[in-house]
Amino acid sequence: MSATALIRSAPQVAPQRHLLSAEAWAALPAALIDDPEMAFLGLWAGLGCVHAAFLHPEDGVPLIASCLGDSYASLALARPGAGLMERAARDLWGVDAVDAADRRPWLDHGRWPTTTPLAARPPPREGSAPQQMFRPVEGEGIHIIPVGPIHAGIIEPGHFRFHVQGEVVVRLEVRLGYVHKGTLGLMLGKSPRAAVPFAARVSGDTTVAHAIAFCRAAEAATETPPPPRAIVLRAVMAELERLANHLGDWGAICNDAAFAWPLARAGLLRERVLRACEAVFGHRLMMDRVLPGGVALDITAEGAATLRAMLAEISAEWPGLQRVYESHASLQDRVVGTGIIAANLAARFGAGGVVGRASGRGFDARRMPGYAPYDAVDFNVPVLPGGDVDARVRVRVAEVDAAIGLIHRLLDTLPAGPIYTPLPIRAGEGLAMVEGFRGDVLHWLRLDDGGLIEACYIRDPSWFHWPLLEAAIEGNIVADFPIINKSVNASYSGVDL
Amino acid sequence: MLWPRLARSLLSRPIAESVAPPPDGTVAALVARLEAAAGTRLGRSLSIRHVDAGSCNGCELEVHATSNLLHDLERFGLRFVASPRHADVLLVTGPTTRNMAEALAIAYAATPDPKWVVAAGDCAVDGGVFKGSPAVAGGTDAVVPVDLLIPGCPPSPMALIEGLLALLAANAPEPKKGPAGQAGGP
């Protein structure tokens, strides 16, 4: 039986969710191995249950498999991207993938007052904190370089454990969880309106995309679509966010090759975007501008003109910056062939966004599952096969061009009408995917009869990017780590939650 | 091509924008506090070590933006350094998570005296929206003593620069009236 058929044969408990028996779930790993097309979207737990979301390209819509119990069969062999999520689910809910090869703690560093904080009754912590355990590396002249959690630059905290032989990295192991803020727990028991600030602060650089995904999940749960004008305004903000971040990343990648001038120019362009956002939407990062049921504020004709003027300024300078990137051999030498993420690895991990598209995986949530208003506008989704730093740079460059075009077209077609519809207070369950600048963001939530969040999950695309960063650095020299890391640019806060 | 662009930059005026002086009240309050805390003078430049103690990374974006061409933090004698050993100021962002509390305390201990801690952003001020989470210890002051608060979610680059200039002005050998840009200028 195919994985889709296996899930669909179980009783349906929500529009996109089926409740599998333990036996049916146990058959899932083998079915997934037989069906490599079935994309894995995320795995999380609840009170005595586990959920996993998938998307089969033939279906085009996400499908959730659930199973009751405090333990379940691991999916990590069939879908390696599930590995970290299973470890996180055990730390947060105490729901355990009993047969997983890697059962080390992930988010729990032994410093919370209780263990399994999202369990029904979290037990107080007993005994000493578990020590960090890294996979051993054996060989002649192996040297360990521990880095972090506090890094040398202005960047989020995480620990990188390099095993090197000479200058060559034999293995990198990333340990995260340092910025775990208990976000999911804080959202429980709140209305979507009260919880959206947390969605907007899962990863500050993706505040718009996360907020849209959360709001669309809440709107799906209450079957209340937002007004058309709000849908287009959300997309304008999401594309501005993509534009600002890609400009910043492009400059920062060049800077990590010790070429500071592109960072200076791209930083200036990024600043122009942020100032236009502040002028038009009242906040440089457009935080808290997306609300369940619509958006917080409308734009005026002058606002649209401000955005268009800013886009024109970027369009005027951007091609010249590309010629500089193309024409400097010292820069090309650093980015071409560096930090290759093989296409089969990107596919196996289900990598989305820039990382996936630079390694031949063309997935884009705006196309599939697809959502308004992207179904009504034409836009380019660049896909390159190379998988190196250069490919990730080029995908970003093409996406900057695409975002500029999209914002112009969205402003052209901005429908008139209201920008907000209050959500009814009712029970329901919803899932939504939004293409953020890093890749597909997934939010799922269930509301109780009082319209309060009973269960929720947030999956940043970085979950699949961190393991690929570990793979990308292998065989490269230590000095190339910053540029490879920046070219992937995974979020720490996004996965630490 | 790069060279014509570089030549244009060389022949044109700097585009860095002027910054409003910090409010007198802020400076006066800081002067009193800093004089009470320590008689030591740091001079007219400050080395800043940024520590993210649990932020959503929104504050980091704006801390980065203080270094772009329009803000150009370094013209005021303020610069970011790679180690707490080189720092006068710890610029802390984010709520302090339980998983980062020890690292922050170690970074503080590794910073030589005299040192100042700036808690930047609503989360660093008091935990912000994450206040009360069992995974969060609190604001920056839950772990290390704080000398200056810069609120905002995130604080804008200008708010960050104004806050840091207030620290510089309050700590100058002879606090001057007048534009803060001159007080800290090279």
Least confident of A167-176, A179-188, A384-393, B11-20: B11-20
Residue of B nearest to A202 (CA): B56
In a domain, B6, yes or no: no
**Per CATH, domain A3-98 is 3.40.50.300:** no
Closest CB to B99: pick one of A117, A180, A284: A180
CA A131, CA A128: separation in Å to the nearest integer? Answer: 9
Query: Which residues in chain B have Cβ-Cβ distances shorter than 8 Å to A203?
Result: 56-57
Query: Which residues in chain B have Cβ-Cβ distances shorter than 8 Å to A182?
Result: 130, 133-136
Cβ separation A111–B58 shorter than 8 A: no
B174 vs A143, A292, B77, CA distance in Å? 51, 53, 17
Cβ separation A182–B133 shorter than 8 A: yes
Cβ separation B57–A185 shorter than 8 A: no
Residue A274, burial from CB neighbour count under 10 angstroms (0-12, 13-18, 19+) = buried
pLDDT digits (tens, 9 = 90+) for A278-321: 999 999 999 999 999 999 999 999 999 999 999 999 999 999 99
Confidence check: pLDDT of B15 > 90: no
CA A275, CA A295: separation in Å to the nearest integer? Answer: 19
**ipTM of the prediction:** 0.94
Cβ separation B57–A491 shorter than 8 A: yes
Cβ separation B68–A268 shorter than 8 A: yes
In a domain, B52, yes or no: yes
Min Cα separation B136/chain A (Å)? 6
Average pLDDT of the residues in B152-158: 96
- Supply the pLDDT for residue B172: 62
Query: Which residues in chain B have Cβ-Cβ distances shorter than 8 Å to A270?
Result: 65, 68
Closest CB to B134: pick one of A182, A203, A492: A182
Average pLDDT of the residues in A403-417: 96
Residue A196 phi, psi dihedral angles, 5° rounding: -65, -30
Cβ separation A287–B97 shorter than 8 A: no
Query: Which residues in chain A have Cβ-Cβ distances shorter than 8 Å to B154?
Result: 204, 285
Closest CB to A182: pick one of B68, B135, B154: B135
CA A460, CA A203: separation in Å to the nearest integer? Answer: 8
Cβ separation B58–A205 shorter than 8 A: yes
Q: Which stretches of chain B are assigned E, i.e. beta strand?
A: 46-52, 78-80, 89-93, 96-97, 116-120, 136-138, 148-150
- Supply the pLDDT for residue B94: 97
Min Cα separation B113/chain A (Å)? 20
Buried b vs exposed e over B138-175: b needs ≥16 C-beta within 10 Å? Answer: bbbbbbbebbbbbbbbbbbbbbbbbbbbbbbbbbbeee
Cβ separation B133–A181 shorter than 8 A: yes
Query: Which residues in chain B have Cβ-Cβ distances shorter than 8 Å to A207?
Result: 56, 58
Its pTM surpasses 0.90? yes
Average pLDDT of the residues in A35-46: 96
The answer for A 376-435 residues in CB contact with B (under 8 A) is none
- Supply the pLDDT for residue A19: 97
- Supply the pLDDT for residue B18: 85
Pairing of strands B96-97, A159-165: unpaired
Query: Which residues in chain A have Cβ-Cβ distances shorter than 8 Å to B129?
Result: 186, 197-198, 201
CB atoms within 10 A of CB A489: 23
Residue at token pair 């995130």:
B154
Q: State which residues form the domain around B106.
A: 45-170
pLDDT digits (tens, 9 = 90+) for A163-220: 999 999 999 999 999 999 999 999 999 999 999 999 999 999 999 999 999 999 999 9
CA A56, CA A16: separation in Å to the nearest integer? Answer: 13
Cβ separation B62–A284 shorter than 8 A: yes
Residue A417 phi, psi dihedral angles, 5° rounding: 125, -175
- Supply the pLDDT for residue A204: 97
Closest CB to A268: pick one of B69, B84, B98: B69
- Supply the pLDDT for residue A129: 64
Average pLDDT of the residues in A479-487: 96
Q: Put residue A127 in one of left, alpha, beta given phi > 0 → left and psi -120 to 50 → alpha.
A: left
Query: Which residues in chain B have Cβ-Cβ distances shorter than 8 Å to A154?
Result: 50, 60, 63-64, 80
Q: Predicted confidence band at B6 (pLDDT cuts at 50, 70, 90)? A: confident
User: Mean pLDDT across chain A, nearest whole number?
Assistant: 95
**Per CATH, domain A183-460 is 3.40.50.970:** no
Average pLDDT of the residues in A219-224: 97
Q: Does A256 touch chain B (CB under 8 A)?
A: no
Least confident of A114-128, A185-199, A416-430: A114-128
Average pLDDT of the residues in A78-87: 96
Residue of B nearest to A267 (CA): B68
Confidence check: pLDDT of B176 > 50: no
Query: Which residues in chain A have Cβ-Cβ distances shorter than 8 Å to B58?
Result: 201, 204-205, 207, 285, 287
For B27, the token pair is 């400076």
Closest CB to B99: pick one of A111, A202, A204: A111
Q: Percent of chain A scored above 70 by pLDDT?
A: 99
For A319, the token pair is 């091609």
Query: Which residues in chain A have Cβ-Cβ distances shorter than 8 Å to B103?
Result: 149-150, 157, 178
Query: Which residues in chain B have Cβ-Cβ distances shorter than 8 Å to A156?
Result: 52, 55, 57, 60
Domain ranges of chain A: 3-98, 183-460
Instruction: Give the count of domains, chain B.
Output: 1
In a domain, B176, yes or no: no
Contact B50/B91 with Cβ under 8 angstroms?
Answer: yes
Cβ separation B134–A117 shorter than 8 A: yes
Min Cα separation B91/chain A (Å)? 10
CB pairs under 8 A between A and B: 146
Confidence check: pLDDT of B30 > 80: no
Query: Which residues in chain A have Cβ-Cβ distances shorter than 8 Å to B135?
Result: 112, 117, 180-182, 185
Residue B79, domain CATH: 3.40.50.12280
- Supply the pLDDT for residue A252: 96
Cβ separation B69–A271 shorter than 8 A: yes
The answer for A 154-173 residues in CB contact with B (under 8 A) is 154-157
Min Cα separation B56/chain A (Å)? 5
In a domain, B25, yes or no: no
Q: Does A185 touch chain B (CB under 8 A)?
A: yes
